[in-house]
Amino acid sequence: MKAGVVVFPGSNCDHDCYHVLKHVLGVDTVFLWHKDTDLQGVDLVVLPGGFSYGDYLRCGAIAKFSPIVSEIVDFANNGGRVLGICNGFQVLTETGLLPGALMRNRDLKFICKYVNLRVDNSDTPFSRMYAAGEVVGIPVAHMDGNYFIDPEGLAKLEDNNQIVFRYCDENGECIPGTNPNGSLNNIAGIINENGNVLGMMPHPERSAEGVMETRDGYFLFESIIKAIGGAA
């Protein structure tokens, strides 16, 4: 398996994703420069967190027009696996690979902290190492993570079991007080209908090693390796 981590100007979790994939999970990993159009034969594309192009317009809005992203759209449409974390999730909604939009946090402040997530769908290539309903601790760090979608779209996501992660309390209850940013239905991460593109606001790469507060994020990456390894 080979993974590629996209580098936009302003990406700042690119090194972290590269580190976890390469050094912690031992995956052959390369950086993909935003001006390039060659995906170098990767099996997984990671769109990392950060502030692509400064995010001065709307998060992810400029990244959508970069040369590498049009290649990624084709890659995804052909079944390639794409993981968008934080700013990467924003880029995915801007390109239309995932439905909905990420608005400014409810309290209008940047928020960085560990949150509890409930794994609502453990039957995806990104979450198969978790148990359904399992509660995991993974940190968020964003200004615009307030997920919004129209009622029909939301019903579709719910009906298709496309909501992979939801903010919850330590017992897995998705009560309002556990929602850090105002997302509809406590949505923290969703997958596309085809099940090959996942976007999530929390940062699994930040909790993937024993020395961190938790190691719960590790299993997301391990899920992908298992999924791709199995397919190859």
Partner 1 sequence: MSVYESFNYPEVTYPIAKEMGLTEGEFEGAKNLIGRNPNYIELGIISSMYSEHCSYKSSRVHLAKFPTEAPWVVQGPGENAGVISVDDEGLCVCFKVESHNHPSFIEPFQGAATGVGGILRDVFTMGARPVAAMNSLRFGSLKSAKNRYIFEGVVEGISHYGNCFGVPTVGGEVYFNDCYNGNPLVNAFALGVVQKDRIFLAKAEGKGNPVIYVGAKTGRDGIHGATMASAEFDENSESKRPNVQIGDPFKEKLLLEACLELMKTDYIVGIQDMGAAGLTSSSFEMASKSGSGVRLDLDNVPVRENNMTPYEIMLSETQERMLMVAKKGYEDKVKEIFDKWDLDAVVIGEVTDDGYVRLTWDGEEVAALEAAPLADEAPKYNRPYSRPDSQDLLQKTVKTECPEDIQGVLLQLLANPTIASKRWVWEQYDHMVRVGTVQLPGSDAAVIRLNESDKGVAISSDCNSRYCYLNPYEGGKAAIAESARNVAVSGARPRAFTNCLNFGNTEKEAIMWQFATALEGICEAAKALNTPVVSGNVSLYNETEGTPIHPTPTIVMVGVIDDVTKRIGSYFIDSSSTVYLLGENTGHVGGSEYLASIHGKELGDAPAVDLVHEKAIIEFMCEAADQRLVNAAHDISEGGLAVALAEMTFGAKEIGVTVKLESELAADALLFGENHGRVILEVSNVNAAAVEKLAEKHELPISRIGRTLSDRIEISADGRKLIDIKVKDAEDIWKNSIGKIMK
Contact indicator for 77, 71 with CB cutoff of 8 Å: no
Cα dihedral sign, 74-60-89-10: positive
144 close to 107: Cβ distance less than 8 angstroms: no
Span 122-141, contacts to partner 1 by CB under 8 A: 139, 141
| 127 to 6, 66, 153, 188: CA distances (angstroms) | 22, 29, 22, 13
| Binds partner 1 (CB under 8 A): choice among 97, 206, 221, 227 | 206
Report the C-alpha gap between 202 and 181 in whole angstroms: 12
Q: Is residue 19 annotated as part of the catalytic site, yes or no?
A: no
Residue 95 CB, nearest distance to partner 1 (Å)? 21
Q: At what angle do helices 87-95 and 67-77 cross, to 10 degrees?
A: 70
| Residues 133-192 interacting with partner 1 (rule: CB under 8 A) | 139, 141, 143
Contact 137, 115 (CB under 8 A): yes
- Taking the complex as a whole, the smallest distance from the CB of residue 127 to partner 1 amounts, in Å, to 21
Interface positions, 36-95, toward partner 1 (CB under 8 A): 49-51, 53-56
Is-catalytic flag, 168? no
Q: Site size for partner 1, by CB under 8 A?
A: 32
Residue 26 in tokens: 């031992």
- Minimum Å distance from CB 21 to partner 1? 12
By C-beta, is 57 or 232 nearer to partner 1? Answer: 57
Q: What's the min distance (Å) between Cβ of 4 and partner 1?
A: 18
End-to-end CA distance of the chain: 8
Catalytic residue among 86, 142, 168, 174: 86
According to the binding rule CB under 8 A, does residue 16 interact with partner 1? yes
- Report the nearest approach of partner 1 to the CB of residue 219 (Å): 16
Q: Which two tokens stand for residue 129?
A: 């190492």
What distance in Å separates the CA atoms of residue 26 and residue 3, rounded to the nearest whole number? 11
Quick check: 218 binds partner 1 (CB under 8 A)? no
Question: Do 119 and 134 meet the contact criterion of CB atoms below 8 Å apart?
Answer: yes
- Which residues contact residue 74 at a Cβ distance below 8 angstroms, ignoring those fewer than 6 apart? none
Binding string, residues 92-121; x marks residues near partner 1 by CB under 8 A: -----------------xxxxx--------
- What the block records as the tokens of 141 is 């760090």
Residue 205 is a catalytic residue: yes
Q: Which residues are catalytic?
A: 86, 203, 205
Q: What are the residues binding partner 1 (CB under 8 A)?
A: 9-10, 12-13, 15-16, 19-20, 23, 49-51, 53-56, 109-113, 139, 141, 143, 203, 205-206, 208-209, 211-213
